[in-house]
A and B are shown apart, each in its own frame.
Chain A
């Protein structure tokens, strides 16, 4: 490695870790303002957030919405990918285009459109409406990832199973899904990541029960506090632990 490359790499990492460093450092602030000078360390803000019922509920809500909406998005995306890749459908280019379309639209617009419809229909806002919105944004990604990984290799195995008398359901569940597991897992994981941290759709489409980013936003609007740093750091550390765990176990061997 040449000097210049090393220098660039270091500079880039400083830039990338600057906000995270400031965030984590001031989460240990002992005063009540997360601004320089640093006067810690203290763990009081971690204690404060862990005993904050609203915040912990929001965390649970985010987890639920992320897992449920991702499960739906992956199921729908897999179905569409299988249907389009394995069966000759008229107008399949158009269908593909339609399924991918939400990817090119801002989250704000998707959220606003859903909000208007929900209000016109007189339906209530809840975690479910936010989850529906998250499926809309994650479905294109799930579809694209799974569709891209459907190759001739699985098709041969599917054909073999069919020749041996397996019905369609068995073929899909026993052959296709296991063979595509890496892609399905990647799609699911990406969906969970995006849904977990999504703000604007959740903000527009929830009412009393809110997700973590929305709760953090209202904390941010209501006063400066190292609690924000603490919850941000905590979320970061937990997410990183999960990412590292996945990286070293599940996804190992994937390219």
Chain B
């Protein structure tokens, strides 16, 4: 008896907890980590008296597989790489969005990206945030002029003082730019040459790092350069260590963008749409831009009214026209090329 009673009590407690969670309305969103900041989510939860359940994911392929296997109603909102929206649409996962509800007229025109978000004239997603995968560096330790040339960044001069951001697409994009290939034109035939550039990059690198590892490495002086970094990496460090900064080299940088959409299987499409509208509203955009996980430029220009001058300075608000002109899009491989790129990436790591 002694043993069973606590067990019984605990299962009751667990059931009670589950019950309590189901009491209010819930919205289930599959997102990137910047959406998990309470400062972003709580105002929406309060306004609509809803609990927003968030789950982070790593790669689009895995997210799509998860969504295809889930039951109707499991998920309501998806945040996805801008370049992958079409894959989600092809898989029949996203529902059309009413264009009239989207404030795209207030967006930076370069990031509306109809080509990404619209299929056959129907919008399925909307850009919410963007930024650059470029070069972050420690201005006290490296020559800023060298950072303007990708070839010099991973030259012998900085060998062992480099960390590479651990995501294959932007880094392959940067390698392509260094080789003079446009990111949108990468084909399977380019991969051997790109592999060599990646190999050079990798042999100069002390580590290949995720967000925190790269931040730690920069902040502790482990490395002086992060290839693939950018405002999203160094913005949170700048306050303490202003010498940690970033630039866009002459060859350009890879522009990342994330889009948000409503799932076709959602059982509360209206609430899901409200969430999307909140995220692209000026207030939502300002909170998303400065979210605790990573910073990035808001797609909606009106978010500027809700950001402090310091925040805008960190985001390099005023330099955006110049940066956007220099940036190239994320490589957008089809399924086969994508697998080849991932294999190339893993081969590079394991060399």
**Interface contact B33-A75, CB-CB below 8 Å:** no
**Interface contact A222-B292, CB-CB below 8 Å:** yes
Do A71 and B6 contact each other (CB < 8 Å), given the known contacts A35-B216, A122-B71, A221-B211? yes
For A63, the closest partner residue in chain B by CB is: B10
**Interface contact A221-B55, CB-CB below 8 Å:** no
Do A207 and B212 contact each other (CB < 8 Å), given the known contacts A68-B10, A71-B6? no
Least Cβ distance of B25 to chain A in Å?
14
CA distance in complex: A220, B212 (Å): 6
For A188, the closest partner residue in chain B by CB is: B3
**28 pairs, A vs B, C-beta closer than 8 Å:** A32-B236, A36-B220, A64-B10, A64-B14, A68-B11, A68-B14, A71-B6, A71-B10, A75-B4, A119-B69, A122-B69, A124-B71, A124-B74, A126-B18, A127-B14, A184-B3, A207-B53, A209-B21, A221-B56, A221-B210, A221-B211, A222-B211, A222-B212, A222-B292, A223-B215, A223-B236, A224-B216, A224-B237
* CB proximity to B under 8 Å, residues A199-241: 207-209, 218, 220-224
The residue that A64 contacts in the complex, of B4, B17, B56, B294, with Cβ under 8 A, is: B17
**Interface contact B220-A221, CB-CB below 8 Å:** no
Besides A32-B240, A67-B6, A223-B293, 19 more A-B contacts (Cβ < 8 Å) are A32-B236, A33-B240, A52-B38, A53-B38, A64-B14, A68-B10, A71-B3, A71-B7, A72-B7, A75-B4, A177-B2, A207-B53, A218-B56, A221-B212, A222-B212, A222-B294, A223-B236, A223-B292, A224-B215
CA distance in complex: A36, B4 (Å): 50
CA distance in complex: A127, B2 (Å): 25
Least Cβ distance of B198 to chain A in Å?
23
The residue that A68 contacts in the complex, of B7, B216, B241, with Cβ under 8 A, is: B7
CA distance in complex: A209, B53 (Å): 9
For A131, the closest partner residue in chain B by CB is: B14
| Residue interface mask B300-331, A partner, CB < 8 A = 1 | 00000000000000000000000000000000
**Interface contact B28-A223, CB-CB below 8 Å:** no
Assess whether B1 is interfacial by the CB under 8 Å rule. yes
CA distance in complex: A64, B13 (Å): 9
- Using a CB–CB cutoff of 8 Å, the interface residues on chain A facing chain B are 31-33, 35-36, 52-54, 60, 64, 67-68, 71-72, 74-75, 119, 122, 124, 126-128, 173, 177, 184, 207-209, 218, 220-224
Range for the number of chain B residues in contact with chain A: 35 or more
Contacts of B1 in A (CB 8 A): 173
Least Cβ distance of A2 to chain B in Å?
39
Assess whether B50 is interfacial by the CB under 8 Å rule. no
Contacts of A220 in B (CB 8 A): 212
Assess whether B36 is interfacial by the CB under 8 Å rule. yes
Assess whether B344 is interfacial by the CB under 8 Å rule. no
CA distance in complex: A177, B54 (Å): 44
**Interface contact B33-A222, CB-CB below 8 Å:** yes
Least Cβ distance of A222 to chain B in Å?
4
CA distance in complex: A67, B17 (Å): 15
The residue that B220 contacts in the complex, of A35, A52, A68, A222, with Cβ under 8 A, is: A35
For A227, the closest partner residue in chain B by CB is: B292
**Interface contact B55-A207, CB-CB below 8 Å:** yes
| Residue interface mask B47-65, A partner, CB < 8 A = 1 | 0000001111000000000
CA distance in complex: A126, B74 (Å): 13
* CB proximity to A under 8 Å, residues B82-140: none
10 smallest CB-CB distances across A and B, nearest first, come from A222-B293, A208-B53, A222-B33, A71-B7, A224-B215, A35-B220, A68-B10, A35-B219, A224-B212, A33-B240
CA distance in complex: A137, B85 (Å): 40
CA distance in complex: A150, B299 (Å): 68
Contacts of A74 in B (CB 8 A): 3
Contacts of B241 in A (CB 8 A): 33
For B2, the closest partner residue in chain A by CB is: A177
For A206, the closest partner residue in chain B by CB is: B55
**Interface contact B38-A31, CB-CB below 8 Å:** no
Contacts of B74 in A (CB 8 A): 124
The residue that A221 contacts in the complex, of B6, B33, B53, B239, with Cβ under 8 A, is: B33
**Interface contact B33-A218, CB-CB below 8 Å:** yes
* CB proximity to A under 8 Å, residues B223-264: 236-237, 239-241
Contacts of A119 in B (CB 8 A): 69
Least Cβ distance of B220 to chain A in Å?
5
Do A33 and B237 contact each other (CB < 8 Å), given the known contacts A54-B38, A68-B11? yes
The residue that B54 contacts in the complex, of A124, A128, A208, with Cβ under 8 A, is: A208
